[in-house]
């Protein structure tokens, strides 16, 4: 299922302020559709904060102000007439720690579609199967959809969370260090899943792991907070291979060669 | 003596002292329940549970007394659970964190500390007199509900707080509204805690005498046929049989006490068992 080329972001001079403290400032970059964009940088450099701007999850934390413009397929997602609830149907998210709901595998995946009005059993069955197939979990759980989600392994739970996010057919999938709580084999499976998904959905992934960014992403953005007094900024963004072989900024080079972070 | 050996000795002494304190507590509880069973259980028969008192309450059973308490507790649940759970949800999920809500929380905590006889007087003034409900099951249930509300509110709020933030975020990120997130994810996950805590609160209410003293009970009354009738109730029956009876009937007093404690304990054990079964099912 190849969709139209939707789900591209354009960030123009984006800043994030918590109360009085500016955490991220002056980020301008584009996120192309149907590709994997990695956000890398040391801890506390605002990667996750920036990611949460893209589905307005920062709205759920009090006192956060987002400046600049974030355009999804040309339309400002922070405009007055945009309902964050509708935005999040188009822009899904997978979190750092697997966070399945305390219900069955089936009900986890069906939660999103049910929320958005899918009622008939056959429609739900089809969505659940397709989502689990896309998340590369179907073969492991097809016989036990009624099983409680907490009985799955950590890696399976995370792929369940990916399936759950895919079930609302988002155009963009945000992933906040989705493999950092998993073992190497599960990490490998998640990375394979991402590679399969990028043909149909735009992926923005935050990762601590530079090898991971190099392996799975098409574009990489490097963020850095150079002092505790200054907000984090975008140092460099570009084609992943170019960035890892021939970075244009000295700080990027220092980071990817492991001199800090 | 070396420093290590001294520390080891101190630890042994502390362990022994704390262990002894625990034994005292267990001892008191066991003695109380054991003696109550020894004196009360022989009085309990089918006749005792199913018949009305006879001969100035010195013979017969306590059926209307048991039913009076059952009605009072059901009425209390009907008032305290919906209001308490909704207030707890509001405080946990919607209320802003400011001076106002801090004051409200403090007031609720204080409500839990008000002596039950004060609730009795309050209930008499408000429900019996001002609202003109008379001395009745409904007035007593409302009074007991006031006493139970802080428990229900607190237990609801705490159960909701214990639900991990990640779970709420997962639902919100799927495009669910706050309300749907609470309804479909947060409340079901918190339900075991809320239900068990509320049941414990209700079982406490079942044993209260002072709140119903002026608001619901009579020395002797038939089974209430409407909520506006007076009733008898186990704790009050115990009190009058022990202190005001025309002729002493100790077997009735002990039997009543045994039925009250056994009933309340049974409910508590069921509630605790149900919760641990739920906890095993839902783990994070």
Q: Is residue A181 part of a domain?
A: yes
Q: Is the pLDDT of residue A261 over 70?
A: no
**Mean pLDDT for chain A?**
89
Q: Which residues of B touch A89 (CB under 8 A)?
A: 174-175
The string of pLDDT tens digits covering residues A107-124 is: 999 999 999 988 899 999
> A70 near A248, Cβ under 8 Å?
no
Residue B18, pLDDT score:
96
Residues B46-281: name the CATH superfamily.
MetI-like (1.10.3720.10)
The string of pLDDT tens digits covering residues A46-103 is: 889 999 999 999 888 778 889 889 999 988 999 888 898 889 999 999 999 999 999 9
Q: Is residue A261 part of a domain?
A: no
Q: Which domain holds residue A102?
A: 9-256
Nearest Cα residue to B175 out of A52, A88, A185: A88
Q: Is the pLDDT of residue A15 over 70?
A: yes
Nearest Cβ partner for A95 among B166, B176, B180: B166
Q: Is residue A1 part of a domain?
A: no
Residue A1, pLDDT score:
43
The string of pLDDT tens digits covering residues B88-117 is: 999 998 888 889 989 999 999 898 889 999
Q: Which residues of B touch A112 (CB under 8 A)?
A: 174-176
The answer to whether residue A241 neighbours chain B at the CB level (below 8 Å) is no
Q: Does B188 sit within 8 Å of A111, measured CB to CB? A: no
CB burial of residue A70 (10 Å; 0-12, 13-18, 19+): buried
Provide the CB-side half-sphere exposure for B77 (13 A, CA): 17
Q: Which parts of chain A fold into alpha helices (H)? A: 47-53, 84-90, 105-115, 121-134, 138-141, 154-166, 184-197, 210-216, 240-245, 250-256
The answer to whether residue A86 neighbours chain B at the CB level (below 8 Å) is yes
User: How many domains, chain A?
Assistant: 1
Task: Report phi then psi at B125, rounded to 5.
Answer: -65, -45
Q: Is residue A220 part of a domain?
A: yes
Provide the pairing of β-strand A233-239 with A75-76: unpaired
The CATH number for A160's domain is 3.40.50.300
Q: Does A60 sit within 8 Å of B175, measured CB to CB? A: no
Mutate one of A56, A59, A60, A166 to test the B interface: name it (highest B CB count within 10 A): A60
Q: Is the pLDDT of residue A175 over 50?
A: yes
Q: Which residues of chain B have pLDDT under 70?
A: 1, 280-284
Q: Is residue A2 part of a domain?
A: no
Q: What is the ipTM of this complex?
A: 0.88
- Where residue A169 falls (left for φ over 0; alpha for ψ -120 to 50; beta otherwise) is left
Q: Which residues of A touch B180 (CB under 8 A)?
A: 115
CA distance A210 to chain B (A): 25
Mutate one of A85, A148, A171 to test the B interface: name it (highest B CB count within 10 A): A85
Annotated domain spans of chain B:
46-281
pTM of the model: 0.79
């Amino acid at each position: 299922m190849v969709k139209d080329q939707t789900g591209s972001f354009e960030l123009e001079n984006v800043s994030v302020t918590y109360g009085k403290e500016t955490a991220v400032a002056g980020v301008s970059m584009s996120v192309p559709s149907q590709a994997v964009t990695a956000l890398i940088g040391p801890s506390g450099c605002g990667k996750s904060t920036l990611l949460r701007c893209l589905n307005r999850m920062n709205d759920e934390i009090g006192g956060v102000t987002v400046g600049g413009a974030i355009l999804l397929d040309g339309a400002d997602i922070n405009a007055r007439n945009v309902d964050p609830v509708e935005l999040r149907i188009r822009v899904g998210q997978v979190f750092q720690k697997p966070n399945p709901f305390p219900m069955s595998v089936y009900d986890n995946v069906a939660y999103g579609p049910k929320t958005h009005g899918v009622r008939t059993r056959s429609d739900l069955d089809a969505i659940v199967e397709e989502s689990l197939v896309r998340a590369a979990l179907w073969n492991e759980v097809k016989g036990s959809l009624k099983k409680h989600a907490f009985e799955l392994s950590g890696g399976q739970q995370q792929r369940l969370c990916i399936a759950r996010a895919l079930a609302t057919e988002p155009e963009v999938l945000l992933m906040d260090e989705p493999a950092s709580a998993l073992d190497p084999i599960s990490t490998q499976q998640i990375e394979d899943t991402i590679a399969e998904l990028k043909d149909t959905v735009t992926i923005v992934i935050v990762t601590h792991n530079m090898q991971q960014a190099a392996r799975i992403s098409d574009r990489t953005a490097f963020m850095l907070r150079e002092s505790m007094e200054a907000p984090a900024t975008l140092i460099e963004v570009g084609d992943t291979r170019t960035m890892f072989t021939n970075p244009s900024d000295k700080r990027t080079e220092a980071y990817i060669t492991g001199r800090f972070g | 003596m070396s420093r290590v050996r001294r520390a080891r000795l101190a630890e042994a002494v502390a362990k022994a002292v704390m262990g002894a304190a625990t034994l005292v507590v267990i001892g008191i509880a066991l003695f109380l329940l054991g003696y109550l069973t020894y004196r009360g259980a022989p009085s309990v028969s089918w006749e005792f549970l199913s018949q009305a008192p006879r001969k100035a309450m010195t013979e017969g059973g306590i059926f209307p007394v048991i039913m009076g308490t059952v009605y009072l507790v059901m009425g209390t649940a009907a008032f305290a659970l919906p209001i308490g759970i909704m207030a707890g949800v509001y405080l946990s999920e919607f209320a802003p964190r400011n001076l106002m809500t801090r004051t409200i929380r403090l007031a609720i905590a204080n409500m839990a500390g008000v002596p039950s006889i004060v609730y009795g007087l309050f209930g008499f003034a408000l429900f019996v007199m001002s609202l003109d409900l008379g001395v009745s099951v409904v007035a007593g249930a409302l009074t007991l509900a006031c006493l139970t509300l802080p428990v229900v509110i607190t237990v609801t709020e705490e159960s909701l707080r214990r639900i991990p933030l990640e779970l709420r975020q997962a639902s919100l990120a799927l495009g669910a509204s706050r309300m749907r997130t609470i309804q479909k994810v947060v409340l079901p996950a918190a339900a075991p805690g809320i239900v068990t805590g509320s049941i414990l609160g209700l079982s406490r209410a079942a044993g209260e005498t002072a709140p119903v003293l002026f608001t619901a009970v009579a020395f002797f009354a038939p089974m209430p046929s409407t909520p506006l009738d007076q009733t008898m109730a186990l704790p009050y029956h115990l009190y009058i049989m022990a202190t005001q009876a025309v002729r002493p009937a100790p077997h009735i007093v002990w039997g009543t006490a045994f039925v009250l404690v056994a009933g309340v304990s049974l409910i508590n054990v069921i509630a605790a068992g149900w919760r641990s079964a739920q906890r095993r099912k839902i783990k994070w």
